[in-house]
Amino acid sequence: MERDGRRCVVCGTAAGESYPGDPTNKARLTIGHRVPQERLRSRGAADDIDNWRTECARCNEPVRDAIPDPIQYDEVLAQVKRMSRDNKRTLLSWLERGERTRSELDRVYDLARILGQTEKEHLVAYLQTSSAPSR
């Protein structure tokens, strides 16, 4: 989970975070598989850490063996070749860093979402008054 930034690699949701469009449902992180274990066993292949990834329960549990084999290098490379030079540079920096660059807003949201409920309510109240349009 640490390797994957403690976020679902499928949808990007973090543990305890509400799902987009479903504020009452909080994400629970699980360990998923790029290739389902049963399919690996049938091929005589090992299930190891390179096959494991962080997935939220919503992305992981319903699919089980229904997921297709993971995307292959040639498929990704074809898409990369169609990207602009600037996007290629950005992608390179993310891959070298091992994570996508997140904005200051993303980082502060990550901090705010783990506050206690009362603290979060105080922060919401502050933001509502401080971000109201000036008259």
Which residue, among 79, 63, 59, 82, has the nearest Cα to 71 in the 3D structure? 79
In angstroms, rounded to a whole number, what is the distance separating the alpha carbons of residues 128 and 79?
42
Residue 79 included in any domain: no
Give exposure, 53-90, as e/b (b: 16+ Cβ within 10 Å): bbbbebbbeeeeeebeeeeeeeeeeeeeeeeeeeeeee
Ranges assigned E (strand) in 1-135: 18-19, 22-26, 29-33, 52-56
Average pLDDT over residues 45-66: 79
Q: Does the structure show a pLDDT above 80 at 100? A: no
Q: Can you give the pLDDT at residue 122?
A: 92
Residue 8 included in any domain: yes
- The helix, strand and coil proportions of the chain, stated in percent and rounded to the nearest 5, come to 45, 15, 40
Q: How many CB atoms lie within 10 A of CB 7?
A: 21
Q: Can you give the pLDDT at residue 64?
A: 57
Residue 126 included in any domain: no
Name the pTM for this structure. Answer: 0.48
Residue 25 included in any domain: yes
Residue 62 included in any domain: yes
Residue 124 included in any domain: no
Residue 5 domain boundaries: 1-69
Q: Does the structure show a pLDDT above 90 at 46? A: no
Number of compact structural domains in the chain: 1
Q: Can you give the pLDDT at residue 82?
A: 95
Residue 43 included in any domain: yes
pLDDT tens track for 57-98: 988 877 655 556 667 788 889 999 999 999 999 999 988 887
